[in-house]
Amino acid sequence: MTGTKAYEVAPSAARLTGSLRDIGYDFPTAVADLVDNSITAGASRINVFTQFEPNGSYVLISDDGCGMSQTGLIEALRFGTRRDYETNELGRFGLGLKTGSLSQCRRLTVATRTSPKHCSIRVMTLDLNRITRTDRWDITANETSPAIEHAKRILSESPGTVVVWEDLDRVLPERYAESGWGRRRLRSLAGKTAEHLAMVFHRFIAGDVPERGEVIICVDDEKLRPWDPFAPEEAERLVLQDHVFEIETDGGSSEVRFRGTVLPARDRFSSLDEFERLSGPLKWNRQQGLYIYRANRLVQHGGWSGLRGIDEHMKLARAAIDFDTDLDESFQINVAKMSVELPPVVRQMLERPVAELCVLADDAYRRSANSGERPDASPKASKASETALRDVGIALKAALIEDRSLVEFRSALDLLRSKHPELAKQLDL
């Protein structure tokens, strides 16, 4: 009997790196994947810098995190790094730095410094042109260019890491790289990136993540304001009771948390400007639905994940779903951290709370549409009593939804509006 013999079949470096450039990133999501690494490194300040140059535009993503040793830097540039990830680290596959960067550029350099006392800066470069030429998994040390020198100047001031993108072939095609169009495109991408980062990392920017401080993120030196889809500063939003579901995993169990929010209609927002700002990148209709957070980092912003369709009457309905990284496989998180799939057991558990949320959102929408303008206060009631009556109305809605069927809920509201319209108005029903 012939013994079994093993053969190592290493992939072609040139072919595989070329293929990995096309796994779904765009410019903002590629930058976001690098911001993940900065947050994992404990950074409190992250800056994205775009520089248009006719002879070589570049992008820098810098942070004041802990930096990397020589071994850590080499490992960081390995496709599928061997390092293990801690629970709730934002990394996942050990690919994001490389795949995110190379989706936009052909030359990736990482410069890093660990010591606050000694200005020892390590520099490693992964160059697709070199890999294409040699078909080897090579990285090179101590390359130089104006962009790399810029990165070194940043690190001369304090420890941290700077990622450098050069040869931006996917951002600025060669025939436009020196044109006014190229300058405008880079400026436009910086704006879209600022909008995306303000949304994806809003909890970190606002300092809402337990056990860590506020993270300052800047794009071209402009500090980002967090875009929280749930409008926490709006007094007239309606926040529903949390639902917590226990999900079995290979290592035991983990929680999934659902919290629904009905945002105020336009006539009840604090200002028209704030209403427009909270409409989000996709605007009100397409921003309705589920906001799914993995370890406090937003990975889905809107849509109902097949639970229901987009509906004009539900555009005030938004819900946060939170899960930890030990449920990554259950939620089928992808490499770019841009999409998830609701596990069947979670989908089933969400049917009722999503239906309850949509009933209340529909009710808020229809009342706003029917009222035209914001209702004036009753001349016989003080502002305090009006607010108290509205709170009673909210409590009644919550109780009816919790204890009765949705059909009975609608019937009860219709009956009250028919028999006692003034009371219904005061209760904000």
Tens of pLDDT, residue by residue over 245-300, are 998 877 778 999 999 999 999 999 999 999 999 999 999 999 999 999 999 999 99
What's the distance, CA 327 to chain centroid? Answer: 17
Taking residues 37-57, report their average pLDDT: 95
Residue 416 has a pLDDT of 72
* Contact in structure between 316 and 279 (CB atoms under 8 Å): no
Burial grade of 74 (CB within 10 A; 0-12, 13-18, 19 or more): middle
Q: Which of 13-17, 150-154, 405-409 has the lowest mean pLDDT?
A: 405-409
* Contact in structure between 211 and 192 (CB atoms under 8 Å): no
Q: By percentage, how much of the chain surpasses pLDDT 70?
A: 84
- Which segments of 84-203 are extended strands (E)? 107-113, 122-127, 140-141, 160-166
Q: What is the pLDDT of residues 187-242, one digit of tens each?
A: 999 999 999 999 999 999 999 998 899 999 999 999 999 999 999 999 999 999 99
The better pLDDT of the pair 327, 197 is held by: 197
Taking residues 19-46, report their average pLDDT: 94
On the question of pLDDT at 84 being above 60, the answer is no
Taking residues 18-29, report their average pLDDT: 91
Report the mean per-residue pLDDT for the chain: 87
Residue 206 has a pLDDT of 97
Q: Which of 13-22, 328-337, 350-359 has the lowest mean pLDDT?
A: 328-337
On the question of pLDDT at 76 being above 70, the answer is yes
- The β-bridge partners of 257 are 244, 322
Residue 39 has a pLDDT of 96
What is the pTM for the complete model shown?
0.84
- Which segments of 213-270 are extended strands (E)? 216-219, 222-223, 238-239, 243-249, 252-262
Question: Between the CA atoms of 116, 122, 125 and 126, what dihedral angle is there, to the nearest 10 degrees?
Answer: -80
On the question of pLDDT at 399 being above 60, the answer is no
Q: By percentage, how much of the chain surpasses pLDDT 90?
A: 67
Question: Between the CA atoms of 85, 91, 92 and 95, what dihedral angle is there, to the nearest 10 degrees?
Answer: -110
CA distances to 74, 167, 198 from 104, in Å: 21, 9, 21
Looking at residue 303, the DSSP 8-state letter turns out to be B
Taking residues 327-356, report their average pLDDT: 86
Region of residue 302 (phi > 0: left; psi between -120 and 50: alpha; otherwise: beta):
left
Q: What is the pLDDT of residues 180-192, one digit of tens each?
A: 899 999 999 999 9
Q: What is the pLDDT of residues 357-393, one digit of tens each?
A: 999 999 999 888 776 544 333 333 344 455 555 556 6
Taking residues 87-102, report their average pLDDT: 73
Where does the pLDDT of residue 91 fall: very low under 50, low under 70, confident under 90, or very high at 90 and above?
A: low
Taking residues 74-79, report their average pLDDT: 92
Q: Mind listing the domains of the chain with CATH numbers?
A: 13-223 (3.30.565), 228-371 (3.30.230), 375-429 (no CATH)
Where does the pLDDT of residue 97 fall: very low under 50, low under 70, confident under 90, or very high at 90 and above?
A: very high
Taking residues 107-127, report their average pLDDT: 96
